[in-house]
Structures are given as structure tokens and as C-alpha cells.
Amino acid sequence: MTEHIQYSPDKDALVLLDQRYLPNREEWFECRTTDDICFALVVMVVRGAPAIGVTAAYGCYLAGREVQGMDGDWKANLNAKLDQIEKARPTAVNLRWAVREMRRVWQEAGDVSLDALLTVWLARAREIHEDDIAMCEAIGRFGGALMDDGDTIMTHCNAGALATAGYGTALGVVRGAVDQGKKVSVIANETRPFLQGARLTAYELHKDGIPVKVACDNACALLMKRGLVDKVVVGADRIAANGDAVNKIGTFGVAIMAQRFGIPFYVAAPVYTIDPETPTGDDVPIEDRDPREVTHIGDHRIPPEGVEVYNLAFDPTPNELITGIITEKGVLYPPYTEAIRKLFDK
């Protein structure tokens, strides 16, 4: 599954499979402006750290196209739009990485015209798109080797093709195991309140013919106690310099339970999800989203009017709960501070 993020030259638009409506219907959202890109990121037309990064890279190009029709200093106008994209969501480091990468390409290109910059930027966005698929396939090979034939793998949130440019990180590990001839199955935690596991992970795996069962988030401990979970594999929106992994809210609790029952807990993510500028997971800004995601199912309100809710979207899992971090460069093991430093030194 690689067609959910498409740049269309004919439409001069980034065309995204709108993940808000899956699995019930497949609709497409077209981005032509910076505001379109930011809207798609904020309301989760597209979500998942690597997919956010790919979208942001194309978004920088579209921002340049938008600036072509504006009065004034095009460089100042373009920098303002890049700032707008970079600040659209706070937690996934891939968003910041992608915008910084496009700025780096701009700086390296020198004093070029806007038209020349756009040519270079579109080419780089396409490279980032293609590279992400290749990285996920490599993560799948390394991670697949850690899975055993017959394993049942628990996931939390969607870290599949839909969360990346294609193939997936955590689900890339599942697909990698299948590609290696292993029969594995998946328990997809439903992932309240946005239900990425129930809606998106189940959608992907069912479409691929990989056995999947959806479980309520609060069933994890019982499933593990009954011996129904062999491994846990999750993605990450940011990994700190010490190996703490920030992922969808509830991941921390799953990791605590996995440790209690002696179940290996792996994080799968490309190297550029590791943020050496952030010392620990507690230093990562945690997005606080619209309370309506918690208070409502469709148009129906669940809690009484006037009752407030928490809707923190992510939590940091401490490095001591993580068995290994699976990247496209190989698997990192504790002590993570040293392993990550060596990785970046290379």
C-alpha cells in the first residue's frame, strides 16, 4: 500500500487518502496551499510520523508554488510559510526534520530563482517519499528476523503503510516476518480516542490477508496474562537521545504490562525519528488535542455537558521498558544513549 500519498503534476496538488473516513469509505483530500497542508496535518487527514514528514516535504514545495503568486519578498514570504508548516503539530519530530531538510537544500542551492528552487525541492520531496518506503522495508527485514513463526504480535495505534509512505514501521515488522515465511497474527489495540488501531491497522492487515483481531485498550493485561501475546511492536513519533520513545497515548501502559509478563517490547522507527537534540522523553512537547475527540462519537456526546476531559495524544515510554529499537540501520539495544550516539557518529 503506497498510493495513499500522491503528488499529482496534472492537478499540481498533493492528494491524500483521507484517513478520517477509513475504513467505511475511501475519500481523497487535495492539498494545493500551505493552509491545506496544515489542515490535513492538524485534523489527521494524514497521520503517523513518517507520513507527516513526507507530507511536509511536499508541503514546502506547494508553499513555494503559492508564493509565486504573492507580492513582496518571495524569500520572506516562503520562510513564513515554512514556519507555519513546521509548527502545525508539536510532537512528531519528522515534521520538523522534513522542513529543516528542505531549508538545507535551499541553503545548499545558493542564490537561485524561485523556479529553480521549486525544481530542486520537488525532486527532493520525491526522494524523501521513495526513501521512506525503502527504510520501512529495511526495518521490516531487521524486525521480521526478531519475530518467531507462530507469534501473536500486539500493536498500539497504526504504524503501518498509512502512517508512512508505504509498508510501515511496526506493521513493516509484521510484513517482514510474513515475507520471511513466518505465520504471524496481530492483536490491534483499538487506540482510543481516534481508534487508529480498530479503524486503520485492522483495515490494512485485513486487506493484506494477515490475521488480525481488535482488542479494547483496557484488555491488554488480561490478554498478556493468558499468554495470548508473544511480542509487542509499536512505532514512535519521536525517540529521545536516551532511547525514550514517544508514541500514541497508552503505549507507556502497554510497555509496563509487557515488562510485568516478560513479553519483549520493541519500537520500530526510521533513524530520522531519533532526535538527538531532545535528552529524554519527558522533554518532548505532548500534543493536547480537541476534547471533542473524547467527548463525542459522531454527533453524540457521551459525558454530561460541562464535564472536562483529557485528550493528551502521546506519552513517553522510558527506555528501560524497551527491548530493542528497530531501525533501517539495524536493531539498537541498551544502553541506548551509547547506541544512539554511536549510530549518529557513523
The predicted model gives 285-310 an average pLDDT of: 95
Residue with cell 507527516: 52
* 333 in the same domain as 201: yes
The CATH number that applies at residue 119 is 1.20.120.420
CB atoms near residue 114 (< 10 Å): 16
What is the domain count for the chain? Answer: 2
C-alpha cell, 147: 519475530
Phi, psi of 187 (to 5 degrees): -105, 115
- pLDDT band per the 50, 70, 90 thresholds, residue 79: very high
% pLDDT > 70, the chain: 99
pLDDT given for residue 2 in this prediction: 65
Write down the pTM of the prediction. 0.94
- pLDDT, tens digit, 9 for 90 and up, residues 323-338: 999 999 999 999 999 9
* 66 in the same domain as 30: yes
**Rounded to whole angstroms, how far apart are CA atoms 141 and 133?**
13
* 176 in the same domain as 320: yes
* 163 in the same domain as 103: no
Q: Is the pLDDT of residue 55 over 90?
A: yes
* 319 in the same domain as 172: yes
Annotation: binding site: 47-49, 89, 196, 247-248
* 207 in the same domain as 58: no
- pLDDT band per the 50, 70, 90 thresholds, residue 298: confident
CB atoms near residue 226 (< 10 Å): 9
For residue 317, give Cα distances in angstroms to 77, 269, 278. 39, 14, 14
pLDDT given for residue 1 in this prediction: 62
Q: Is the pLDDT of residue 115 over 90?
A: yes
* 333 in the same domain as 231: yes
CB atoms near residue 35 (< 10 Å): 13
pLDDT given for residue 346 in this prediction: 82
Q: Is the pLDDT of residue 102 over 80?
A: yes
Q: What are the catalytic residues?
A: 237
**Rounded to whole angstroms, how far apart are CA atoms 173 and 234?**
10
* 115 in the same domain as 19: yes
- pLDDT, tens digit, 9 for 90 and up, residues 266-287: 999 999 999 999 999 999 999 9
Average pLDDT over all residues of the chain: 97
Q: Is the pLDDT of residue 31 over 80?
A: yes
pLDDT given for residue 3 in this prediction: 87
* 341 in the same domain as 315: yes
CA 230 to chain centroid: 24
Residue where one domain finishes, among candidates 136, 164, 195: 136
- pLDDT band per the 50, 70, 90 thresholds, residue 223: very high
- pLDDT band per the 50, 70, 90 thresholds, residue 69: confident
Residue with cell 521480521: 144
* 330 in the same domain as 243: yes
- Answer yes or no: are the C-beta atoms of 317 and 269 closer than 8 Å: no
* 242 in the same domain as 163: yes
Q: Is the pLDDT of residue 309 over 70?
A: yes
**Rounded to whole angstroms, how far apart are CA atoms 151 and 145?**
12
- pLDDT, tens digit, 9 for 90 and up, residues 232-268: 999 999 999 999 999 999 999 999 999 999 999 999 9
Alpha helices, H only, the chain: 34-42, 49-67, 74-86, 93-109, 114-144, 170-179, 196, 202-208, 220-225, 251-260, 292-295, 336-345
**Rounded to whole angstroms, how far apart are CA atoms 283 and 170?**
24
Of 155, 151, 168, 161, the C-alpha closest to 232 is: 155
Annotation: binding site for substrate: 47-49, 89, 196, 247-248
Q: Is the pLDDT of residue 70 over 70?
A: yes
pLDDT given for residue 11 in this prediction: 95
Q: Is the pLDDT of residue 47 over 70?
A: yes
Domain boundaries, position 72? 5-136
* 147 in the same domain as 132: no
Run of H or E including 240? strand 238-240
**Rounded to whole angstroms, how far apart are CA atoms 199 and 333?**
32
**Rounded to whole angstroms, how far apart are CA atoms 236 and 312?**
15
pLDDT given for residue 71 in this prediction: 84
Residue where one domain finishes, among candidates 136, 161, 183: 136
The predicted model gives 103-119 an average pLDDT of: 96
- pLDDT, tens digit, 9 for 90 and up, residues 193-208: 999 999 999 999 999 9
pLDDT given for residue 106 in this prediction: 97
Residue where one domain finishes, among candidates 136, 156, 173: 136
The CATH number that applies at residue 335 is 3.40.50.10470
- pLDDT, tens digit, 9 for 90 and up, residues 131-186: 999 999 999 999 999 999 999 999 999 999 999 999 999 999 999 999 999 999 99
